[in-house]
Chain A
Amino acid sequence: MSQIVLQAKGINKSFHDPITIQILKDINFTVNKGEFVSVIGKSGCGKSTLLYILSTMDTDFQGELLIDGESTKNKKEGQLALVRNEKIGFVFQFHYLLNEFSVLRNVMLPGLKLGKYSEEEVEHRAMQKLKILGIENEALKMANQLSGGQKQRVAIARALINDPLIIMGDEPTGNLDKKNGKIVFDIFQELAQEFKQTLLIVTHDNEFANSTDRIIEMEDGRIVKL
């Protein structure tokens, strides 16, 4: 049996404003190490909400979330930030780079925050990641000088910098044209196959989903197919 990276136990979540709507109903599933999992479902079925709970950014839910075998339940905000920093890499629909910094610096920031390596080492590692993604030539440009597809690749490099347990993506190809979307998808594929990186990607692109190891399908806040 392979190692469980992420486990959701009976997760329920409701929005209370303006009226109470239960948005996630009894979510139970696990993600194993090295798996490439996609979550699909129609708009508003709760898949993004689920992803933000799994990423520890949203703590307002019932049930239990275990990351790397550790419950997130009684952790404080600062401790959760550490968990995110060390164990989770995140890729958003919009690239969300910091425009005040160079590409290289953007990739380095989470690594510097973790403080596991010296600054020189973090820089070296960041260059390696950029090389994997084929954008090492852009390293010294400012973040806002890149194209959309390049930005998304930088965001992936940033997600990789601390060698996270799992990379989560919220429609990472949703905002890209077909060509760039393909490039990003190929990168994920490569990460999964060559580096045995665990990936959990929310998407509504069925083509994308079909080429992953496992599809979790959601409908009206429930998992209908694991």
Chain B
Amino acid sequence: MNFKLLLTIAKSLLLARWRQTLVAAIGVTFSITMFITLLSFMSGLNDLLDGLILNRTAHIKLFNEIKATKDQPIDLSDKFKSSYHFIHSIKPSNARQEIYNNGAILKALHSDKRVKGIAPKIIAQVFYNVGAIDITGVINGIDVEAENKLFFFNDYVTAGNYIDLLNVPNSIILGKGAAEKMLANIGDVIQITTPKGDRIQLKVVGFFQSGLVELDKVQSYCSLTTTQKLLGKSSNYITDIQVKLNDMTTAPVLAKEYANTFGIDAEDIQTANSQFETGSSIRTLISYAVGITLLIVAGFGIYNILNMMIYEKMDSIAILKATGFSGKDVNTIFVVIALSIGFFGGLVGLLFGFGLSSLIDQIPFNTASLPTIKTYPINYNPKFYTIGITFSLITTYFAGLFPARKASKIDPVVIIRGK
């Protein structure tokens, strides 16, 4: 009952000076709007940049590195156990790039609950034949469906249909740059030379554009079977296993585990791309700092307006106290005033922020390096909205607290006798 009464008093005081209230609320609205827009935009951009790497990079890559074995024969000999070994110019033995026993590894990974999906891959060095000239290139033999599911392969196929890799025998999706060099169009047949010197003809079914021009001049994609065929290998030949995990942060630990279990090399995404995480966390930090600064500035605005209001309402406060309202009641009234400015200003700010960010979402943004992006990226994370309204309430609460305490300490006798 008492609180309800205080609420109605606060409401009347607010509405009696609605212009002033409006100005204060607009301050909050503006800062929340900018906070939401800024964070949505920045975080959208972050996600985009992260996605450039994350979408196409396996969380863990399993492969066979060509290197000298760690356990050299001399290490195994008992005779020289207590000696220090000086051996120079060790060369790797005739090791194959192929992952041994990959059927069992794939099966083990499939049944691992922590793994979201796996995509086997073959990397083959080839030459693209353009008339008399050979251009070096790399053909990625991929499991087309798995690659599309895990690494959004289709997003980067700018012409043609990715599934034709499976449907058309001996087909290839050329990197955009490589295609331009070869003057190849969809439907054309190109010729490549394998490392072993075999010449093979492949049909172009699409173009691929990764966003990295250098990469597109070299890379092309074939299905696993086509690649195995052109390398003259059996159908269980693969050189890489790309693993995507449910939780990316566990990658370094799991990479070690897999390396031990399967006896092959494993590289996690954090090690391979340590720079990108630093960049995105600093960008996030900056956008939060700017957003919170905006809110604090709005808080000072509310503080000023409430202070002014209290000077104007001295008489009213005195009379409320004289007729039996305690200092605590007066305090509550002014805190309620501040909070309602924060709440309604913030709520409208959330709406405007959503509106403004959807507007930005419509602005065309075309860049050659990002074929899938047509407009500015926006992240509509509800987290930003929660933070926005929480912060607007917190800042307005503190902005209201000090004037409210001042109001609660007003001595009615001084005001009434001062007249």
> Which residues of A are interface residues toward B (Cβ below 8 A)?
48, 52, 55, 57-58, 77-78, 81-82, 84-86, 90, 92-94, 96-101, 105, 109-110, 112-115, 158, 170
Contact = CB atoms under 8 A, between A and B. Distances in A.
A85 B323 contact: yes
Given A96-B318, A113-B5, A115-B2, A86 B419 contact: no
Contacts of B413: 52, 57-58
Contact of B2 (A58, A92, A113, A158): A113
Interface string B1-29: 11001000100110110000000000000
A78 B327 contact: yes
Nearest to A52: B413
Contacts of B328: 78
B313 to A, nearest CB: 9
10 contacts: A48-B417, A55-B322, A57-B411, A58-B413, A96-B315, A96-B322, A96-B416, A99-B16, A100-B13, A109-B323
Contacts of B405: none
B381 interface: no
A100 B16 contact: yes
Given A57-B413, A113-B325, A113-B329, 9 more contacts: A92-B416, A94-B416, A97-B319, A98-B320, A100-B316, A105-B12, A109-B9, A110-B324, A113-B5
Contacts of A97: 319
B301 interface: no
A56 B324 CA distance: 10
Interface core residue of B321, B324, B329, B412 (most chain A CB under 10 Å): B324
B327 A113 contact: no
A48 B321 CA distance: 18
Nearest to B1: A115
B316 A81 contact: no
Contact of B323 (A58, A101, A110): A110
A84 B12 contact: no
A90 B417 CA distance: 14
B281 to A, nearest CB: 50
Nearest to B416: A92
| Closest 5 pairs (CB-CB, A-B) | A85-B324, A81-B326, A100-B16, A78-B326, A110-B323
Nearest to B9: A109
A92 B415 CA distance: 12
Nearest to B316: A98
Interface string B94-131: 00000000000000000000000000000000000000
A96 B419 CA distance: 11
A158 B323 contact: yes
Contact of B419 (A55, A94, A105, A115): A94
A48 B12 CA distance: 32
Contacts of B9: 109
Interface residues of B, number: 28
Contacts of B321: 57, 81
Contact of B5 (A81, A99, A112): A112
Contacts of B325: 81, 85, 113
B324 A57 contact: no
B144 to A, nearest CB: 72
A73 to B, nearest CB: 18
A217 to B, nearest CB: 21
Nearest to A158: B323
A35 B416 CA distance: 26
Contacts of B324: 81-82, 84-86, 110, 113-114
A90 B416 CA distance: 12
A175 B66 CA distance: 103
A78 to B, nearest CB: 4
Nearest to A108: B5
A21 to B, nearest CB: 16
A113 B321 CA distance: 11
Interface core residue of B315, B319, B328 (most chain A CB under 10 Å): B319
Nearest to B12: A100
Contacts of B327: 77-78, 81
B340 to A, nearest CB: 15
A96 B320 CA distance: 10
Nearest to A102: B12
B322 A90 contact: yes
A92 B15 CA distance: 27
Nearest to B318: A96
A55 B321 CA distance: 11
Nearest to B415: A96
Contacts of A113: 2, 5, 323-325, 329
A115 B329 CA distance: 14
A113 B412 CA distance: 18
A96 B416 CA distance: 9
A171 to B, nearest CB: 11
A100 B416 CA distance: 18
A57 B322 contact: yes
A84 B325 CA distance: 9
Interface string B387-418: 00000000000000000000000011100110
Contacts of A100: 12-13, 15-16, 316
Interface core residue of A86, A92, A105 (most chain B CB under 10 Å): A92
Nearest to A155: B319
B336 to A, nearest CB: 14
B419 A84 contact: no
B1 A96 contact: no
Nearest to B16: A100
A92 B416 CA distance: 8
B323 A90 contact: yes
